[in-house]
Amino acid sequence: MTIQSSRTEDAGAPRTRANILLAAIRYVFLRVGVLPFFLVFSLVVFSLISNQFLSIQNLTNVARQSVYLVLVSLGQMLVLITGGFDLSVGTAIAMTSVVSAMAMVALAPVMPDMIWLAILLGAGAGLGAALLIGCLNGLGIAQFDVSPFIMTLGVQSVGAGIALFLTGGVPISGLPYDFGNFFGFGRVLGIPVPVMIALLAIVGIWLLMNRTKLGSHIYAVGGNVRAANLSGVNTKRVLFLAYVLCALLASLAGLLLTARVESGETNLGGTIALESIAACVIGGVSLRGGLGRVENVVLGAFFIVLLQNGMNIAQIGSYMQMVLLGSLLVLAVILDQFRYRMLVGDR
């Protein structure tokens, strides 16, 4: 009731400058979500703390560091838009890292003249491991109606266990030099290879979501699964594919991370599930499904890395950073609830 009455007052109030500003804030909030406000706030705060923060060098640095989170967030976005989420993205990264590293280490001595083939096969093995995780998630959630929370939580533990079992907890070293040199530190046309790959992925996912039937179906399944079914959408297939794509995108991030650290490690994706969900929600993806835009998610991921970078410059310890990041996620979700209610109406 109170909301409704305040709205009528809005309509009747004179168009003062403050009112126009409020209307603009409301419009941006409804269209994009909380991201612009968070972004402006942190830019102001951190640039006041340090004058290095806004330097080109630092921002390029942030861009390069954000590649991994961008990739994972794109995948997370797909499943969030279907109305679920994926807690096993970290495991997908760990499995990719361990399996691809083991394969490369095993294959490289066998085919010393074809080191690129060994790298390719190794990368394929890593992607295959993540594909398995995605299929497992998709099968449980789409076919057996397991809640995404339980399914991906379970798979997360299963995958992490297997990765630790395979390595005994020890990092796998001795990867082919070219792998790290190209995928970790290489440049093509002056652009770092990881950034290049992320850009390609962004364009690909943007096309998927905005220009293909599958993309429209992903939005529809998350918006109202029963209505989607009655519109002829194969809802189970769409759900399944969303989880598979999510795992594959995480896996891609896993490969790039492995190349960067030049070893296969089980702890590469430790906090990425939380960070990627935060990036999406801050980027305006609704946890109720059906809403979310690729470009905003990319900015959301960029924002998270920017925030971490800023906090490092401001010499905030990593423990305190965890506290801040978690709080930010919850705050973003609360604001998302308001936004959804404003969009869909008070019920």
One-letter amino acid at 249 equals L
> Counting every residue, how long is the chain?
347
234-273 residues near other proteins, rule: CB under 8 A: 234
- What CA–CA distance (Å, rounded) separates 316 from 261? 24
Least distance to other proteins from the beta carbon of 216, Å? 6
SS3 of 112-133: CCCHHHHHHHHHHHHHHHHHHH
- What CA–CA distance (Å, rounded) separates 270 from 322? 12
28 binds other proteins (CB under 8 A): no
Among 23, 191, 203, 344, which residue interacts with other proteins (rule: CB under 8 A)?
344
137 to each of 73, 132, 142, 180, 209, how far by Cα in Å? 17, 9, 8, 30, 21
214 binds other proteins (CB under 8 A): yes
Output 143 or 181, the one with its CB closest to other proteins. 143
32 binds other proteins (CB under 8 A): no
Least distance to other proteins from the beta carbon of 344, Å? 5
From the list 50-58, 205-213, 241-249, 317-325, the region that binds other proteins by CB under 8 A is 205-213
Least distance to other proteins from the beta carbon of 1, Å? 8
- What CA–CA distance (Å, rounded) separates 76 from 278? 10
SS3 of 219-236: HHHHHCHHHHHHCCCCHH
213 binds other proteins (CB under 8 A): yes
Alpha-carbon torsion (207, 213, 216, 217), positive or negative: negative
One-letter amino acid at 237 equals R
212 binds other proteins (CB under 8 A): yes
38-97 residues near other proteins, rule: CB under 8 A: none
Q: Report the DSSP beta bridge partners of residue 272.
A: none
Contacts with other proteins by CB under 8 A: the residue count is: 35
From the list 49-57, 147-155, 219-227, 255-263, the region that binds other proteins by CB under 8 A is 219-227
Residue 29 C-alpha from the chain's centroid? 21
The residue to which tokens 């409704």 are assigned:
4
Among 15, 230, 315, 319, which residue interacts with other proteins (rule: CB under 8 A)?
230
Among 14, 109, 168, 232, which residue interacts with other proteins (rule: CB under 8 A)?
232
- What CA–CA distance (Å, rounded) separates 3 from 218? 32
From the list 54-62, 98-106, 206-214, 244-252, the region that binds other proteins by CB under 8 A is 206-214
- What CA–CA distance (Å, rounded) separates 243 from 137? 6
Show the site string, 273-302: x = touches other proteins by CB under 8 A, - = not. -------------x-x-xx-----------
Show the site string, 156-195: x = touches other proteins by CB under 8 A, - = not. ----------------------------------------
DSSP state of 175: -
Residues that bind other proteins (CB under 8 A): 1, 4, 7-8, 11, 207, 210-217, 219-220, 223-224, 226-234, 286, 288, 290-291, 340, 343-345
